[in-house]
Structure 1
């Protein structure tokens, strides 16, 4: 099954961003591939936006160019405006205190 156009566009952009990061660091593909433990063919697929590359290989390549910390923050709650908004709507409007037990002597 083929991914949606939005997914393909996002993966193409990710690949271009990885390529640009590699080039800014003046790293040849062979060095990044070796550091990441992937083949040149796999690195080329990632940089060209191939949707069939595993997330593990992408993570290894990001690590090789020093961008791995960005991966762990992708779906974090700080970046999930829609999820936080939905969670906020489900919060109780008010919180009632428990009744204090009456002291009967």
Structure 2
């Protein structure tokens, strides 16, 4: 049996998720029995999912999103590119400066006015 979620804010988030799922189903005028069949769960499991029960599998939620045409939202969930906290922590972990190794020299940049700088007459 799954452990109960102790955090009140986490429980509220699950209840909100369940309510949003139910609203999406009702807006699409899909009956509870039909929706349960389409996502492959019993009616009682669907009712639990719509109430935000933490014991319902993530697979059931994923199938519900698929049937509702919202599967993309699952793959966007905690997308690393949108994780502001993770991005900030990653940025803070970057070194402030990078020291050259002993005996190494930076690559020489081509001198101005050489062929490497020739843009073929294009102004930009």
The alignment's TM-score, normalised by the length of structure 2, stands at: 0.74
Question: By how many angstroms is 1:27 displaced?
Answer: 0.9
Gapped regions of structure 2 (runs ≥ 5) = 107-124
How far apart are 1:18 and its partner, in Å? 0.4
Tell me how far 1:25 sits from its aligned partner: 0.8
Normalization by structure 1: what TM-score? 0.86
Structure 1 distance, partners of 2:52, 2:105, is 63
Would you tell me which structure has more helix in proportion to its own residues? 1
Number of paired residues? 101
How many Å separate the matches in 2 of 1:79 and 1:54?
Answer: 25
Instruction: Identify the residue that residue 100 of structure 1 maps to in structure 2.
Output: 105
Q: Which residue of 2 aligns with 1:26?
A: 29
**Aligned equivalents of 2:20 and 2:35: distance in 1?**
14
**Larger RCO, structures 1/2 (Cα 8 Å, 6+ apart):** 1
Matched, 1:69 2:79: no
Query: How many angstroms does 1:96 deviate by?
Result: 5.0
SS at match of 1:94: coil
Unaligned runs of 5+ in 1: none
CA distance in 1 between partners of 2:28 and 2:51 (Å): 18
